[in-house]
Structure 1
Amino acid sequence: MPLPHWTSEHVLPPGRHPADLSDLYERFVWDAPHRNEREILFSALSGYLGVVCRLIPSGRAWLSGSLTVRSAEVPYDVDVVLVPDEWGTLKRLDGPARATFYGMFTLRGVIAEQPAMYLDQVQPVSGLVDGFLCHPGDEDVWEAVWSRGPVPGTVKGFAEVSW
């Protein structure tokens, strides 16, 4: 089912809208300005979701960020919150799978050694993706955050990819 058309505020209508990768491409890349920059973000998102699907047997990804808004400004990232269907599968990840999984998420206030440095934020895919994990019972909190429009007090919709 294709994503709905942009509203007059250049966002998706309120609500959670099921989509697949071709739907995302049509609305967020093809039907928006700055197509070249959007192609790069879409490629980062596609690769990110490909890795996620290998690690998490089933779940949903909710999408937000500048890629998901039809703006005259150049988009700079896509925000993804992962909502696993079965939390226990994450606890059973081991070795390389666990290391890969933890590398999929945005970290804030990071102190690194060798060489020693402080980083405000570390993001997957060279900063093109902001990745977050929804813990069981926090879906309403994330839905409220993802529904905030670009202008304070406005509401927007967001895309949901299931696998």
Structure 2
Amino acid sequence: MPLPHWTSDNVLPPGRHPADLSDLYERFVWDAPHRNEREVLFSALSGYLGVVTRLIPSGRAWVGGTITVRSEQLPQDVDVVLIPDDWGSLKRLGGPARAALYGQLTLRGVIAEQPAMYLEQVQPVGGLLDGFLCHPGDEEAWEQTWSRGPVDGIVKGFAEVTW
């Protein structure tokens, strides 16, 4: 099912909208300004979801960020919150798979050694994407966050990719 058309506020209508990658491309790249920049972000998202679906057997990804707003401003990133169907499957991930999953998540307030440095934020896909993991019971808080429009008072929709 294709994503709905942009509202007069240049956002998706409020709510969660089921989509696949071709739907995301059509609305967020083809039907928006700055196609070249959006192509790069879409490629980051596509690769990211390819890795994530190998690590998490089944789940949903809510897609937000500036790519989901039709604006004359350059889009900066894609935001993704991952909602696994089976939280236990993540707890059972072995060392390399667990490390790979952590590498797909945005980390804040990181201290690295050799050389010692403080990093305010570490993002997957070269900083083109923020990836978050929704703990069971936190869906409502994420839904409220993903529904905030680019301007106070505007409620926007977001895309939901299921695998």
TM-score past 0.5 threshold: yes
CA displacement at 1:96 relative to structure 2 = 1.1
CA root-mean-square deviation: 0.6
* CA–CA distance in structure 2, aligned partners of residues 115 and 11 of structure 1: 43
SS at 1:76's partner residue?
A: coil
Within a 5 Å distance, the mapping from 1:41-120 to structure 2 comes to: 41-120=41-120
- Alignment-derived partner of residue 135 in structure 2: 135
Q: What's the CA shift string for 1:58-88, capped at 9, x where partnerless? A: 0000011011110101111000000000100
Q: Matched residue pairs, number? A: 163
Q: Which amino acid aligns with 2:69?
A: V
Instruction: Provide the TM-score with structure 1 as the length reference.
Output: 0.99
Structure 2 regions of 5+ residues with no counterpart? Answer: none
Give identity over the alignment, percent.
82
The answer for the alignment partner of 2:123 in structure 1 is: 123
Instruction: Return the alpha-carbon distance in structure 1 between the equivalents of residues 88 and 111 of structure 2.
Output: 30
SS of the aligned residue for 2:28 comes to: helix
Gaps of 5+ in 1: none
Alpha-carbon separation, structure 2, partners of 1:134 and 1:117: 28
Amino acid paired to 1:75: P
Distance 1:6 1:38 in 2: 16
- Determine the structure 1 residue equivalent to 2:3: 3
Shift of 1:154: 1.4
